[in-house]
Structure 1
């Protein structure tokens, strides 16, 4: 690095626009205050002072010392440092000039601008990444160009990738391995559900932030479900620069990278897990062609043979992920994550909520379906009215299942997607069904006026609750109908008010049926009293 005089350095700094005039003046004044009011003549003293104050970064100063004062800005972003370079781009740490937020900016080399395949791949990555929003995928915020410089603005993850971590620390602990693979699997599952396949899952593409959260990086090779573009493929690339990818390449992907499905990502993630456990990829020896051939033709040694203290369940999960035939692997990345979460829990490790499987949303339709299917059978629930829960899962939405271990059911994230007519008729049907079930159960108990069994009292409690609720709704409806506010009454009576009509019909039906039932009960009581008087 050539040395330049202090005044020349300050001149380049002014030209660079890295600091405003007032920022530069304040920094120099504080420097002069440390040196008896004089500006030091040594350039390095000025550099060290500005880095210490935080007004310049080491990378910026190095560029200025090399007499390079242009190219520090891309659009609204100021470049702070160089993070790394890949096969098709360079990544820089940047800061938004107004909001002061740190971002990572991927810049396509100018030499590649005229290469249509590289430029198309670059914009494909922007499209693929921007379409995904998940805590375990590095987010994309913007894509733009400044002249012939094309760049992608991404989330900045303060941390290291798993390849660098293993290189520095060696093989990782089993708990950390399980967590990182769970995080990656959840992120990949999100991408797969969006119709994308990553195709380049490897340790270097998994970043771990300061909180221990793993995030998937680099969607540049992502295969989109409707992709028909003929782009540069690994199957026709034979340079050693694809070494990292070759160590994690699914057998079917090496044959045809455009005719694969999500299970190729499961293979890559399995090879990554193998690397985290053993400290090296499944086939560390040989040329690129030899390693690709091994991935197609043979299984690597079991991880438990290399690391004898590896838990059997982790070994089983890892080896199943890297089976040669896609159908022999796990069916989905969620399934991989679920098995690892189960192992974490069984091993006594705490499981973060984000590592749990994503619950399906419980919609109004499924709730209504469950209400219509539900019956309360005295004698089966043992008087515990909390023995019914609504669940969603493999059994389908809204399936009613008994669960005596729960004290109630919780519905979260409900969405109302039905119109008034559907909601009204569904609620009406559910209320009628529940009313008839409860009345039938109570009638079976004989409606005795004096003695109540434990089972019948449970049914009568529910009957009372239903009747009270129906009466309250009916009273409110009648008050509105009889209200002097004609507009309100007319709105309720309007033929299009299906919900109100359904509730009103249900109310009238319940009252009529209840009067009949109580009339019969009263008659039975009277007859029994007459018999008792006659016996006396």
Structure 2
């Protein structure tokens, strides 16, 4: 459909999308008509719908582009776009039936056609799904909807450290030490589970409102001693994996053979970035940076920020040693060294640093989703990337050029309620207790007609009931023989006795 030129056309798109409950939309429109009325400009009305919590930023932009399809992926409804990367887009989503908030990472269809990209996408899900730690984003599922492949993760209501420093400058010492120490804890857990990340950097570290740091994006992760991981062997030796600003020297030479010490180098470069406000080598081309990581030392951190303690500067330098043998050998050693510089209390992130979600996206969010739970520091409940500006971005299905079915309608073509899986909800026949007695109609009263029109023969009982040699068995449901009435048996016996007596009398004569 074309771009809406009127409010009526905008409302038509919203209704066709199925993203807004019809009752909610009708009530809202009635209230608007009674108060301030509707504007004439559809863009103005779209902005007001966002402010009033009817649609989200992302949905509003899509409607204004004339889109009404592609708002779902699998069983999830797209609420907001919260991140964009080389391996796809990340959306804040809601399960259409369970109402649970999650982050869904969608691989672009063009990437899915590349064996290396698709393989790494599934390896990311496998790697993250094998880990369960408070400082690592948890992954719950990987699925496919048409030609769209997507990963379902926890949603974290918080930004990544790259965006925080870019927008607000270097972090104070307490926060920088706290976040890096938490990440080192997560890396130690991954290391004990034979996994290395290979892309530790500020953009892959999320921080929620409680100051809990979590490692994101296992797309380049490698399982140690896993000889079945042919993806790494086949593709990783041909290119340099990692990010030029934070990649370890040995990873530049051979991405396949690195170990946990490469992650320690990346974490040291991340700590340098948090303290200095820029990477170890802020200028130069990608090729130059890759070379400098192997041959050149960055500017000492104390020259950039003199208030950094000498001991902390030594830790940064040791984490970023060119020779892996000169670094800390495990993340646990990094944690132990940073303990001396961790204060008793660490400032929480500023509200200005937190992502801004639309009222409709926040509606129905649990306190944990908003970072209000004290237990979130120990048990991660959410995960995603930071919210970008509300720019026109195509939904995943729109990118693919395919149509993804929206939420099922309330009724199917036959007029019966639609089931969650797209079929019909058939009315369940009432059940009857196995031993329940069959209902008995009342006997004829004086003055009633005694004919068959008064009481149907099939329902009459007692001495007036018609002869019926079978009845339905209440237990098995099978037809069972009907026993003769007692007076019939007595009469037959009396006749037999009389006949026998007559025969005896004749014989005696």
| TM range, smaller chain | 0.5 to 0.7
Is residue 24 from structure 1 mapped to residue 25 from structure 2 by the alignment?
yes
Q: How far apart are the structure 2 equivalents of 1:179 and 1:172?
A: 11
Match of 1:200 in 2: 199
Q: How far apart are the structure 1 equivalents of 2:342 and 2:182?
A: 13
8 Å contact 1:250–1:264 — kept in the other structure?
yes
Greater relative CO, 1 or 2 (CA 8 Å, sep 6+):
2
Question: How far apart are 1:341 and its partner, in Å?
Answer: 1.3
Question: How far apart are 1:338 and its partner, in Å?
Answer: 1.4
SS state of the match for residue 246, structure 2? coil
Match of 1:470 in 2: none
> Compared with structure 1, are the counterparts of its residues 65 and 177 closer, same or farther at alpha carbon in structure 2 (3 Å cutoff)?
same
Q: How far apart are the structure 2 equivalents of 1:8 and 1:173?
A: 51
Q: How far apart are the structure 2 equivalents of 1:350 and 1:57?
A: 34
SS state of the match for residue 278, structure 2? coil
Match of 1:53 in 2: 52
Query: RMSD in angstroms over aligned alpha carbons?
Result: 2.5
8 Å contact 1:235–1:255 — kept in the other structure?
no
Match of 2:470 in 1: none
Match of 1:533 in 2: none
Q: How far apart are the structure 2 equivalents of 1:85 and 1:136?
A: 22
> Compared with structure 1, are the counterparts of its residues 7 and 259 closer, same or farther at alpha carbon in structure 2 (3 Å cutoff)?
same
TM-score w.r.t. structure 2 length? 0.64
Q: How far apart are the structure 2 equivalents of 1:235 and 1:29?
A: 63
Q: How far apart are the structure 1 equivalents of 2:102 and 2:213?
A: 17
Q: How far apart are the structure 2 equivalents of 1:124 and 1:176?
A: 32
Cα displacement string for residues 186-230 of structure 1 (whole angstroms, at most 9, x for unaligned residues): 111111111110000001111111111111110100011215323
Aligned equivalent of 1:310, options 308, 311, 320? 308
Question: How far apart are 1:77 and its partner, in Å?
Answer: 1.1
Q: How far apart are the structure 2 equivalents of 1:98 and 1:298?
A: 55
- The answer for unaligned runs of 5 or more in structure 2 is 349-373, 378-509
Match of 1:174 in 2: 173
Cα displacement string for residues 58-77 of structure 1 (whole angstroms, at most 9, x for unaligned residues): 21011011111111011221
Question: How far apart are 1:142 and its partner, in Å?
Answer: 1.6
TM-score w.r.t. structure 1 length? 0.61
Match of 2:269 in 1: 271
8 Å contact 2:116–2:235 — kept in the other structure?
no
Question: How far apart are 1:39 and its partner, in Å?
Answer: 5.2
Question: How far apart are 1:83 and its partner, in Å?
Answer: 1.7
- The answer for unaligned runs of 5 or more in structure 1 is 357-536
Match of 2:66 in 1: 67
Match of 1:442 in 2: none
Correspondences of 1:317-336 after superposition (within 5 Å): 317-336=315-334
Q: How far apart are the structure 1 equivalents of 2:280 and 2:107?
A: 32
SS state of the match for residue 282, structure 1? coil
8 Å contact 2:88–2:106 — kept in the other structure?
yes
Question: How far apart are 1:233 and its partner, in Å?
Answer: 5.4
Is residue 125 from structure 1 mapped to residue 120 from structure 2 by the alignment?
no
8 Å contact 1:89–1:107 — kept in the other structure?
yes
8 Å contact 1:262–1:332 — kept in the other structure?
yes
Question: How far apart are 1:279 and its partner, in Å?
Answer: 1.2
Cα displacement string for residues 29-57 of structure 1 (whole angstroms, at most 9, x for unaligned residues): 2222224xx65544245423422331211
SS state of the match for residue 152, structure 1? strand
Q: How far apart are the structure 2 equivalents of 1:20 and 1:164?
A: 35
Q: How far apart are the structure 2 equivalents of 1:56 and 1:10?
A: 11
Question: How far apart are 1:170 and its partner, in Å?
Answer: 1.4
8 Å contact 1:4–1:65 — kept in the other structure?
no
Q: How far apart are the structure 1 equivalents of 2:346 and 2:86?
A: 39
Question: How far apart are 1:100 and its partner, in Å?
Answer: 2.7
Q: How far apart are the structure 2 equivalents of 1:105 and 1:25?
A: 30
Correspondences of 1:352-501 after superposition (within 5 Å): none
Cα displacement string for residues 63-113 of structure 1 (whole angstroms, at most 9, x for unaligned residues): 011111111011221101212221121111111223333221110101122
SS state of the match for residue 67, structure 2? coil
Q: How far apart are the structure 2 equivalents of 1:301 and 1:234?
A: 31
SS state of the match for residue 94, structure 1? strand
Question: More helix by proportion, 1 or 2?
Answer: 1
Match of 2:468 in 1: none
Aligned equivalent of 1:340, options 329, 338, 341? 338
Q: How far apart are the structure 1 equivalents of 2:27 and 2:75?
A: 24
Question: How far apart are 1:237 and its partner, in Å?
Answer: 4.2
8 Å contact 1:205–1:218 — kept in the other structure?
yes
Is residue 13 from structure 1 mapped to residue 11 from structure 2 by the alignment?
no
8 Å contact 2:174–2:347 — kept in the other structure?
no
Q: How far apart are the structure 2 equivalents of 1:112 and 1:166?
A: 30
Is residue 280 from structure 1 mapped to residue 281 from structure 2 by the alignment?
no
Match of 2:144 in 1: 145
8 Å contact 2:43–2:64 — kept in the other structure?
no
More displaced, 94-103 or 178-187?
94-103
Q: How far apart are the structure 2 equivalents of 1:90 and 1:75?
A: 15
> Compared with structure 1, are the counterparts of its residues 350 and 166 closer, same or farther at alpha carbon in structure 2 (3 Å cutoff)?
closer
Q: How far apart are the structure 1 equivalents of 2:313 and 2:305?
A: 10
SS state of the match for residue 243, structure 2? helix
Q: How far apart are the structure 2 equivalents of 1:280 and 1:343?
A: 21
Question: How far apart are 1:2 and its partner, in Å?
Answer: 4.8
